[in-house]
Amino acid sequence: MRKILIIGVLILTSTAAFSQGAYKPINLGTFDRKVYHFGFLLGFNSADVYIDRKSDFASQDSLLSLNSKNQSGFNLGIVAAYHFNKNISVRFLPTLSFEDRVLNYVFYAGPDSTTRYEKRIESTYIDFPINFKFRTDRLRNSAFYALAGGRYRINMQSEKDVKNEVADKILVKTDNNDFAVEFGGGVDLYLQYFKFGIELKMVVGVKNLLIPEATQFSNPLESLRSRTLLISFTFEG
């Protein structure tokens, strides 16, 4: 997740420096007069989870540690934007998101001995985000913006109905519906034939996704909430 954050900041910083360079002709001079714009997005994500442990977690002496490890994925989506004026707009971005998350468990197995398990939570989401976008005036062929909003998510790869029987194959089950809030910012670049956007966004789930089960992997957990860092590239005509 840190790598994507650093890459995103570097891209936005270098873009800002580039946009302040030598004189350039105005591209797409009438672009902002349109009320509607459509396009598509490509993105990369780093997915993780917030882990809330049960209050008696410390007393479960067979479980020595539990943590999560973020995983990389990608996103494909459509952009539909309605502009209230040149500085404020609302966007609907139905997206297909491929996200994986990993939980790492370490159990006590005897003197000087431990057993480790890696439990992967694989997800293919259909996302329905709605964002409010607050943009600066154009600086020749660029403009900077902040955004905030929320999304409803459906996991098409949920394994909530799988039977857990063998320890090595036991799954940490999660619900197939999620709600999340999101916030971030970016830069719009007006190119000769289309508007190209680069944005960095954090998506934080507000729903407990955990499906409780009487397994050694679910018992220590109170809740799991999704967390995703996105860097997206938008193309609008």
pLDDT in tens, 163-211: 655 556 788 889 999 999 999 999 999 999 999 999 999 999 999 999 9
| Residue 99 burial by Cβ neighbours in a 10 Å radius (0-12, 13-18, 19+) | buried
Summarize the confidence of residues 20-32 as an average pLDDT: 74
Q: Is the pLDDT of residue 9 over 60?
A: no
Q: What is the pLDDT of residue 10?
A: 53
- Give the per-residue pLDDT at 215: 84
Query: Any idea which of 2-6, 27-31, 33-37, 121-125 has the lowest mean pLDDT?
Result: 2-6
CA–CA distance, 94 with 77 (Å, rounded to integer) = 6
Taking Cα atoms as reference points, which of 178, 192, 185 lies closest to residue 232? Answer: 185
For residue 157, pLDDT over 60 is answered with yes
Mean of the pLDDT values across residues 139-166?
84
Give the pLDDT band of residue 6 (cuts 50, 70, 90).
low
**Residue 41 burial (CB < 10 Å; 0-12/13-18/19+)?**
buried
Q: Which of 225, 193, 227, 194 is nearest to 209 (CA)?
A: 225
Q: How many angstroms separate the Cα of 160 from the Cα of each of 43, 44, 167?
A: 27, 26, 16
Eight-class DSSP state of 153: E
Task: For 31-82, write each residue's pLDDT tens digit.
Answer: 888 999 999 999 999 999 999 988 765 555 688 888 998 899 999 999 999 9
Query: Residue 219 — pLDDT band, cuts 50, 70, 90?
Result: confident
